[in-house]
Amino acid sequence: MRIFFTHLNSLIILVISFFFFITPSTSLDTLTGTQILTTNQTLLSKNQTFVLGFFRGSNTNYYLGIWYNNINPRTIVWVANRDNPVDNSTGHLKIGDNGNFVLLNSSGKPAWSSNQTSAKNPVLQLLDTGNLVLKDSSDKTNNNYLWQSFDYPTDTVLPGMKIGWNLDTGTEKHLTSWKVTGEDPSSGDFTMKLDYHGLPEAFLRKNQTIIFRTGPWNGEGYSGIPAMKNNIDGLKFNFTYDEHSVWYSFSITEPSLLPRIIVTSDTDGEFQRYMWIQGSWNKFWYQPADQCDYYRQCGPYGVCDENASSICKCMQGFRPKNQEAWNLRDGSDGCVRNTVLNCSTDKFLHLEHIKLPETSSVFMNKSMTLDECGSLCKRNCSCTAYANIDIRNGGSGCVMWLGQLIDTRVYSTDGQDLYVRLAAADIGSTSSNKNHRAVLDIGITLSALVLVLGLVAICYLRKKRKQRSIGIVHRNHDWLTNEVVPSRRYLGDERNMDGLELPMFDFDTLMMATNNFSQDNKLGEGGFGSVYRGRLIKGQEIAVKRLSEDSGQGIEEFKNEVKLIVKLQHRNLVRLLGCCIEKDEKILVYEYMKNRSLDSIFGYMSPEYAMDGNFSIKSDVFSFGVMVLEIVTGKKNREFYSENDELNLLGNVWKHWHEGTALSLLDPSIDNLYTEAEVVKCIHIGLLCVQEHAEDRPTMSSVVLMLSSEAPSMPNPKNPGFSTWKKHLQIDSSSNKQDETWSVNQVTITMLDAR
């Protein structure tokens, strides 16, 4: 009989869902009182960013959750019934009789429900923010929510969600990890909770044991998470604290961004921030990130320094409490004072770049200045240290410690100032030392400034005295900005071209210099013409690039090349001396350098720029990618590598990448300074930047995000542009050998050999 009623109940549910069904294809974001949501149906937010539906855990049970639409693998941001799963696929969601919504299991009994409300016509809606809200359909204010999922976070913080306390009602919102990340959504062992006592800060705990402390909010971010800064990567972090509430939240400045902050059970518990970038989740920061992030690593009055050989050290005026353990690099017992305090004569030691000690039991006043705070601390014999609450705009507010200083660390550049009470005898000559160091720093700075100014003056005077070669005249100011090249005008002196100086050579001078463009002087042939070696009357050697009339390069390409080269200033790039536009000629004059110096230039130019003169933000990305690969390998892109000397740098890196041997390209001088993962990441990013088609390359902002992420997940790179091959044409021994060079996108590269 029980089996009969079970099947009958399932049949009734199926019949109801037939008449009152919701399907994904309808893209509805709202569930009404006449509808149910079964385990194979979903709600889709209006902008199609979030989905509400059922998913199965590793235990085969069903859970109601919210996840990102069109992101694989599925990323779940909220779970309704994480500790009360539905046992099989016949469970469903519906609007209840008490102004709430209810999740029913296979027997028709509630497995989970929201709070009861007084709504007469309740509806459930999934918003574009990922917030699931219950409201009265007759309420036209559109923001008077009777219940919302943002009030009941699981393991994830989304933009607009608040974590903290409502002090009037005593209600709290905190994060709890999954039992097993990605498998079991039930409540795990790790929590992230905001402590409102003293100066509020958040604690990551495993059960009741503190793992990590964020430090208090200093106006810009938590003092223990230096990476958390406002208006970085499109995020704005918010913290409010008054007598009614203590809330932490964040918002986005760009609607297309998809960030999330989670607490995970991975690696024994972490607090992590992710951003969706180019098809994958990129981790921007995580805590604890190093040994000094772990709570009370160096005990009371100990300072943790991750950059030191022994990470724990005592503050000045203190010594290890347990010297034997300290020698074994166990600093958990902390430090004790060298000299007993004397309230009337005590002084304060100024420490910089500090993560403030734990602030659960401190005195605080938001309106006091730092001087007032110091004066109050001086008069209070129980005060052990003081600092500003807010470090913005020169600092404001006062926080005073009345007991031991616990869980303190020092950073290289971040953190804030802390003033620690010491006996006068333990302060020593710290102040005079600091003054001496300040004077020394000023002296060094002034000396360096005088030296730089002197070098600039010398270079300027030398440039003024330099005599120009015979035949140099100057061009019309507007020739690069017009559609056609105007007639040449002899102006006598050098003129400024868009803030850059570039002389003009007359055609006859170049004919004389190259012996009438003799084949004997020909150095090589490039994509748009030939390059000749020449010598001016005063003996200066030059390289003359003469564009052929039937070359693919027109006036636009010529202008683009001049614009690019004249703005590039680098010791590894050949210098452009001038140009010639007489008699329908388009000629560039470079300084002559042996050993194929001219292909410095094309090695950094993107294919679309070199070919068609099309320049975009992706052109710079290509150049950046080339430099990244040059830095990692210690090789130049203009040279050729591999066994048969047939691949340039891009082609060689691409070959090794596909063979899984990219690490073999690492510059030996780098040695073990970086991990293999960091090297592979840089090579991967470099190959993404130099992809042949501009639309495949990431933007520079994405590159920065990938470089700053700890473990970015990136797409596979495609063929690089200008992955040049070099073919040696075998000719009889009486003939000269010539190099024929081309690339995968059929753009030739000028190869110059010294005669």
583-615 confidence digits (pLDDT tens): 778 888 888 876 544 447 556 778 876 665 566
**Is 66 within 8 Å of 150 (Cβ atoms)?**
no
119-175 confidence digits (pLDDT tens): 888 899 999 999 999 998 887 777 789 999 999 999 999 999 999 999 999 999 999
If one counts every other C-beta atom within 10 angstroms of the C-beta of residue 173, the result is: 19
Q: Which residues of 563-578 are buried (b: 16+ CB within 10 A; e: fewer)?
A: bbbbebeeeeebebbb
DSSP one-letter code for 142: S
Give the pLDDT confidence score for residue 489 in this predicted structure. 33
CATH number of 607-727: 1.10.510.10
Give the pLDDT confidence score for residue 452 in this predicted structure. 64
Task: Assess whether pLDDT exceeds 60 at residue 708.
Answer: yes
708 versus 211: the higher-pLDDT residue is 211
**Is 297 within 8 Å of 289 (Cβ atoms)?**
no
528-566 confidence digits (pLDDT tens): 678 889 988 777 889 898 876 655 556 666 676 676 666
pTM comes to 0.60
pLDDT band at 485 (very low <50, low <70, confident <90, very high): very low
Find the mean pLDDT for residues 480-501. 36
**Is 465 within 8 Å of 446 (Cβ atoms)?**
no
Give the pLDDT confidence score for residue 462 in this predicted structure. 60
d(CA 688, CA 657): 12
Task: Assess whether pLDDT exceeds 80 at residue 178.
Answer: yes
Find the mean pLDDT for residues 416-437. 74
693 versus 569: the higher-pLDDT residue is 693
Find the mean pLDDT for residues 185-200. 95
DSSP for 557-579 reads: HHHHHHHHHHH---TTSPPEEEE
Q: Which contacts (CB < 8 Å, 24+ apart) does range 34-39 have?
A: 35/94, 35/95, 36/92, 36/93, 36/94, 37/92, 37/93, 37/94, 38/13, 38/91, 38/92, 39/86, 39/89, 39/90, 39/91, 39/92
> Residue 29 class from Cβ within 10 Å (0-12 exposed, 13-18 middle, 19+ buried)?
buried
Task: Assess whether pLDDT exceeds 60 at residue 636.
Answer: yes
d(CA 472, CA 506): 7
Amino acid at 166: N
**Greatest mean pLDDT range, 297-311, 466-480, 612-626:** 297-311
> Residue 461 class from Cβ within 10 Å (0-12 exposed, 13-18 middle, 19+ buried)?
exposed
Closest CA to 695 of 753, 604, 608, 629: 608
| All structural domains of the chain with their residue ranges | 25-152, 154-289, 302-422, 507-591, 607-727
Give the pLDDT confidence score for residue 568 in this predicted structure. 57
Task: Assess whether pLDDT exceeds 90 at residue 730.
Answer: no
- Rounded to 5 degrees, what are φ and ψ at 262? -135, 160
d(CA 331, CA 335): 8
pLDDT band at 739 (very low <50, low <70, confident <90, very high): very low
> Residue 365 class from Cβ within 10 Å (0-12 exposed, 13-18 middle, 19+ buried)?
middle
Do you know the residue count of the chain?
Answer: 755
507-591 homologous superfamily = Phosphorylase Kinase; domain 1 (3.30.200.20)
394-422 confidence digits (pLDDT tens): 999 999 999 999 999 999 888 999 999 99
Interstrand relation of 416-422 and 398-401 (parallel, antiparallel or unpaired): unpaired
Give the pLDDT confidence score for residue 471 in this predicted structure. 42
d(CA 92, CA 52): 12
Give the pLDDT confidence score for residue 356 in this predicted structure. 96
pLDDT band at 524 (very low <50, low <70, confident <90, very high): confident
302-318 confidence digits (pLDDT tens): 999 988 888 999 999 99
Architecture of domain 25-152: Orthogonal Prism (2.90)
How many Cα neighbours within 13 Å face the side chain of 483? Answer: 0
681 belongs to an annotated ligand binding site:
no
**Range in 425-429, 623-627, 651-655, 713-717 with the lowest mean pLDDT:** 425-429
